Amino acid sequence: MRVLAPAKINLHLRVGAAKDDGYHPLLSWMCIVGLYDELTFARNELQEHRLRCDDPTLPMDASNLILKAVAAVSETIRPGEGHHVGGLDISLSKNIPAAAGMGGGSSDAARTLLALNRLWRLDRSYGELLDLAAGVGSDVPFFLNAPSAICTGRGEIVSGAGKPAIGWALLILPDIRLLTAEVYRQFDAMNLGNDRALHNPPNWRVWTGYSAMELLPLLRNDLEKPAFLLNSGLGAVRDRIESRLRRPVRMSGSGSSLFTLFDDEPSTIAAAEQIKRECGIRAVPAALAPFFFDGLSEKSQD
């Protein structure tokens, strides 16, 4: 079975003060973008799972979110349940940069939950899969609600949103890795937590109808300040690209990926070429909130 795992960007991300459990309450509008990891699943004759990846820098041990998702599903299986439940050879072809705030690992984990449900004929409901997803990581449930959703709680409470009228994102991918937990620690150290924005959400229906230049100036990411303090090079890249492209550029999630938005594909491609040429940074044009098909439709799992 071969499946596609899309990246996400946080168009808008407001972050409140840490709760007793250390997690931060969020309000975020998240959309998938047309940049995909590829996963294949094949049964093996062993009683163990083997994970291979074309990126040698990624951990392949139990901390990998794909293996966490396999473990989460496996723990729910009662004796005699399912069909050919056993060892799997999983191979991951990575296109989404790691530690970049684009949810690559979370998306891989969400596709793994859906794939195992199908492969092992477990017939788990959508609600059951959502619960498993939240246990694997805060961003995982979003990927069961793609392509566009509003995420609250620690990110795991997801409600579907309209597909934005804006069709294109330019993904700017500097060669910088930021650890999510460290960015949140810096956020706390800077005492930035403020719940006010969480209680006053924008009118999402109006926002989904805006053009790129109407929406961009309204977007915020409260993790930019701590991320740019941890890595001042990233803040400098953002400022430089904003002035080159003459439009707002935002960070996604806890960084280091940056993005801006366009209404049409030719402008996105032209901007990508300009950033590569003038700044020497990887820049990828990607459809915003695309519908894609790999045979694993979330809604068919209902």
Residues noted as catalytic: 8, 139
Nearer to ligand C5P, 180 or 267 (CB): 180
- For the bound state, the minimum distance from the C-beta of residue 171 to ligand C5P, rounded and expressed in Å, comes to 20
Token pair in block for residue 229: 């303090």
Please count the other Cβ atoms lying within 10 Å of the Cβ belonging to residue 237: 21
Closer to ligand C5P by CB, 152 or 301: give it.
Answer: 152
* Residue 81 burial (CB count, 10 A): 12
Q: Determine the Cα–Cα distance for residues 227 and 221; give it in Å rounded to an integer.
A: 10
Ramachandran region, residue 177 (left: φ > 0; alpha: ψ -120 to 50; beta: rest): beta
> What does the DSSP 8-state code read for residue 186?
H
Render 28-47 in DSSP notation, one character per residue.
EEEEEEEEEEEEEEEE-SSS
Least CB distance from residue 106 to ligand C5P, whole Å? 7
Nearer to ligand C5P by Cβ, of 208 and 254: the residue is 254
Min separation Cβ 188 and ligand C5P, Å = 8
Smallest distance from ligand C5P to CB 180, Å:
4
101 or 147, CB closer to ligand C5P?
A: 101
Q: How far apart are CA 69 and CA 140, in angstroms?
A: 10
Residues that bind ligand C5P (CB under 6 A): 22-24, 26, 137-139, 154-155, 180-181, 184
CA distance 119 to 216: 41
Which has the closest alpha carbon to 101: 160, 177, 162, 40? Answer: 177
